[in-house]
């Protein structure tokens, strides 16, 4: 919907419809899975309902994003994480001497954090 068809801006995300008989409401947020911007539009006849719809859409988007972020976190123990880090990152991306030093560091840290989950370490 082009900007000129929205009408006069009442408040952020809400415009008076050009006919004067309602409101055009817009919500914009970033989809966590795709990283793309999502825009939703709706025509509503009352300003209080427009505010309510806009707030509910923003809240739902935020809740969904928070839930998805929590679901995506792997819940692994430190010793497994250390092994994966050494094999998939340190060995490939770093110099041989740094890889050896990282191995010593991970072994030392395993004595303290080995059986704990990564999410529990603060």
Work out the mean pLDDT of the chain and round it to a whole number. 85
pLDDT at 29: 84
pLDDT of residue 5 exceeding 80:
no
Residue 35 to residues 32, 38, 57: CA-CA distances in angstroms? 5, 9, 18
Query: Where is pLDDT greater, at 1 or 24?
Result: 24
Q: What pTM value is reported for the model? A: 0.47
Question: CB-hemisphere CA count at 13 Å for 81?
Answer: 18
For the chain, list the strands marked E by DSSP: 8-11, 14-16, 23-30, 37-44
CA distance 41 to 80: 46
pLDDT at 70: 57
Query: Beta-carbon neighbour count of residue 82 at 10 Å?
Result: 21
pLDDT at 1: 42
pLDDT at 31: 76
Q: What does the angle CA 65 – CA 88 – CA 78 come to, to the nearest 5 degrees? A: 65
What are the residues whose beta carbons fall under 8 Å from the beta carbon of 36, sequence distance 6 or more?
A: 30
Instruction: List the chain domain ranges.
Output: 3-72, 78-120
pLDDT tier for residue 3 given thresholds of 50, 70 and 90? very low
pLDDT in tens, 43-89: 898 999 999 989 988 888 887 765 666 556 678 999 999 999 999 99
Tokens 């050009």 sit on residue: 18
């Amino acid at each position: 919907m082009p900007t000129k068809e929205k009408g006069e801006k009442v408040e952020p995300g809400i415009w008076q419809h050009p006919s004067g008989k309602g409101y055009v409401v817009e919500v914009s947020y970033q989809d966590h899975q795709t990283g793309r911007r999502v825009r939703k539009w709706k025509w509503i006849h009352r300003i209080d309902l427009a505010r309510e719809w806009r707030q509910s859409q923003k809240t739902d988007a935020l809740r969904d994003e928070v839930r998805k972020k929590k679901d995506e976190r792997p819940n692994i123990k430190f010793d497994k994480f250390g092994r994966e880090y050494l094999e998939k990152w340190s060995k490939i991306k770093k110099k041989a001497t740094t890889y050896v030093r990282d191995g010593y560091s991970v072994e030392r840290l395993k004595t303290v954090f080995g059986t704990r989950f990564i999410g529990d370490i603060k």
